[in-house]
Chain A
């Protein structure tokens, strides 16, 4: 199987983007959404996640290792391409470029986000509504997070589309077009969920609930 290493790595990259990373993204955004019900509701949801059994094991195998592989191999993929949207301005070619731009942005965003929340938590900080409200009170951080969340939902939705092609599930143009519409809906829906949560952290009414 050694001669097929590139093939296996690329397929693994595609699979990990959906399972577990995509599933984790949806779950993460769902937990965040509790913030729209007030600080207490969010803290309850966050504490539930915090107190899951075998948390470190889950974090390592469901989050850290898959994301690390996906990010490093993804960067390798980015350097293999030479964008040519100026000469070939087709829709899919733009998606190809955006997938790479959002991927690189997410690498920076997620690294910073993990440092700001999970790493700080291991130093004794408490991950709760106030922590996020504090972070997002800075306008720079708010913009950084808004672009980060939108990049994540786009990268996941468009990645889901290419996952379907890369594994040979959507083969003909019609099924690929329907998948484009379906993943566009997923992008909009997840973005609404993500944005509502972000805005809930800067809503003073919700902070006291």
Chain B
């Protein structure tokens, strides 16, 4: 019998939010087209480390398995990305898995991305359409605008851009690139545009757009190829104009 091909994983584990992280090595049989998630499922099925010691199964977060939900993001060989689309054959062995430490670690590879959803609330990432009566259809959106706005809508709040950003950390209040780009999306929408200044004001508040240091790691790291730095620069322009309006203008717009 020919020798079975094995894959090696080194996983940074942590038993709880307050406990110390440690690494554990695993060795498992290779299967064709395996991704990091199926490797983790294999460990869950048979939680034995590379030295043959029985251990607790490694836990991770996942949902859609097709890179649209963002839940399974982790650091794979130093690069933050989604584990569902990370094919084992494309990585150098051993494959190192770590949680994205920019966020609070819940356990093993699971992190709590709540701060991103809080930021979306802070920048008012929605379009108010509720009224006491039927407001009828909204204004139409130009097709060329819809095309670039669609690119921005691909954001899945995965947190990779926050993990890559040198200015998102414990010393700074910065909300990170993703919520800034989402403001551009909602401000581009013809109905959303009616509340444009409210979102810009939010971006001009604490931890807002001014905390960007132009390292541009976000746009290099985004798994969906969203033009994050273009969004940031575009909103730098919009917030500049908003600041002038606030200071010199008359009507509240």
Binding site for B on A (CB under 8 A): 1, 3-4, 6-11, 77, 79-84, 87-88, 90, 92-93, 95-97, 161-162, 165-173, 176
What 9 pairs across the A-B complex have the smallest Cβ distances? A168-B237, A10-B210, A96-B215, A92-B216, A168-B236, A80-B172, A171-B233, A7-B204, A93-B215
Q: How far is B233's CA from A89's CA once the two chains are assembled, in angstroms? A: 22
Assess whether A92 is in contact with B215, with CB atoms less than 8 Å apart: yes
Assess whether B171 is in contact with A7, with CB atoms less than 8 Å apart: no
The 13 sampled A-B contact pairs (Cβ below 8 Å) are A3-B205, A3-B206, A6-B205, A6-B210, A6-B211, A11-B210, A84-B164, A88-B164, A95-B214, A96-B214, A161-B214, A171-B234, A171-B237
Q: Min CB distance, A89 to chain B, in Å?
A: 10
Interchain pairs with CB closer than 8 A, number = 113
Q: How far is B243's CA from A72's CA once the two chains are assembled, in angstroms? A: 23
Interface of chain A, main secondary structure? helix
Known: A6-B211, A88-B164, A96-B213. 16 other contacts (CB 8 A): A6-B205, A6-B207, A7-B239, A79-B171, A80-B167, A81-B171, A81-B213, A82-B167, A82-B171, A84-B164, A90-B216, A92-B215, A165-B232, A165-B236, A167-B237, A171-B234
Q: List residues of chain B with CB within 8 A of the CB of A165.
A: 214, 229, 232-233, 236
Please tell me if B157 contacts chain A, counting CB pairs below 8 Å: no
Q: List residues of chain A with CB within 8 A of the CB of B153.
A: none
Q: How far is B215's CA from A4's CA once the two chains are assembled, in angstroms? A: 23
Given contacts A90-B220, A96-B214, A173-B227, contact A4 B166 (CB under 8 A): no
Q: Min CB distance, B122 to chain A, in Å?
A: 12
Given contacts A3-B205, A88-B217, A171-B237, contact A96 B166 (CB under 8 A): yes
Q: Min CB distance, B209 to chain A, in Å?
A: 8
Assess whether B236 is in contact with A84, with CB atoms less than 8 Å apart: no
Please tell me if B169 contacts chain A, counting CB pairs below 8 Å: yes
Q: How far is B235's CA from A165's CA once the two chains are assembled, in angstroms? A: 10
